[in-house]
Amino acid sequence: MSGKVILHYFNGRGKMESIRWLLTVLEVEFDEHYLTSRDQYLKLLNDGSLLFQQVPLVEIDGMKLVQTKAILYYIAEKYNLHGKDLKERVTINMYSEGLMDLMEMFMMLPFAADPKSKLDSIQSKANERYLPVFEKALTGPLYLVGGKLSLADVLLVECTLMLEEKFPGIMKEFPSVKAFQGRMIRIPAISRFLQPGSKRKPQPDEGYVKTVMEVFNITGPLP
């Protein structure tokens, strides 16, 4: 295996985007191998590369890692963005998994039979369930856990930008979260990632949806 990190996924956001964000913030170089056909996916299956027959797949440190949370936690631990002790780590994980739950709702939107109702549900849950948690946590502290940058901070800035793409005024009621976002996007690696031509992926379009459905042999909209 190459010494460089290799990502196997679609040329789109999905579950790999948070991994791209984390590697970018850490300034870890990575290459991407895009899935464009079902044959590529079947080859990964036949090679035994996909433990649970799912992507993302990340090649790193001589391993082939699957399962998004496991990948994120490994990278965060490796590069010291996972807290100083067990209590900080579990707090980071709770924040991170909440954010991933919210962002997964966005991932399913392009495949939904009724995206409008899904979008309304996302906005409601963001306002009532998720953003208040982070507003409280960031009223005073610069970072979510332990006074230093962690995986949870990286996921939060990704999530807030994703929310604003769909709901431009959503941060008005959450000034501490908005201020946090402002600080984070001034980090040089993040600032570069937000510029055109970076490895950050755009919002999913019809081409992305078509490719995912063909690769996984999905024949109709998801519920």
Residue-wise pLDDT tens digits, 141-196: 999 999 999 999 999 999 999 999 999 999 999 999 999 999 999 999 999 999 99
The closest alpha carbon to 198, from 65, 25, 42, belongs to: 25
pLDDT of residue 114: 83
Helices vs strands, H then E, count in the chain = 10, 4
Average pLDDT over residues 115-119: 89
Angle at 20 between CA 17 and CA 24, to 5 degrees: 145
pLDDT over 90, % of the chain? 91
Helix (H) or strand (E) holding 197, with range, is none
pLDDT one-digit tens code per residue, 104-115: 999 999 888 888
Distance CA 207, CA 60 (A): 29
| The 63-66 sheet, strands edge to edge | 30-34, 5-9, 57-60, 63-66
- CA-based radius of gyration for the chain: 18
57-60 and 63-66 beta bridge pairing: antiparallel
Per-residue confidence at 62, pLDDT binned at 50, 70, 90?
very high
Q: Which pTM value belongs to this model?
A: 0.94
pLDDT of residue 221: 64
Contact assessment for residue 129 and residue 56, using Cβ atoms and an 8 Å cutoff? no
Per-residue confidence at 219, pLDDT binned at 50, 70, 90?
confident
Instruction: Work out the angle between the directed axes of helices 86-108 and 115-125 (0-180°, nearest 10).
Output: 150
pLDDT of residue 218: 82
Contact assessment for residue 83 and residue 91, using Cβ atoms and an 8 Å cutoff? yes
Cis peptide leading into residue 56 (ω within 30°): yes
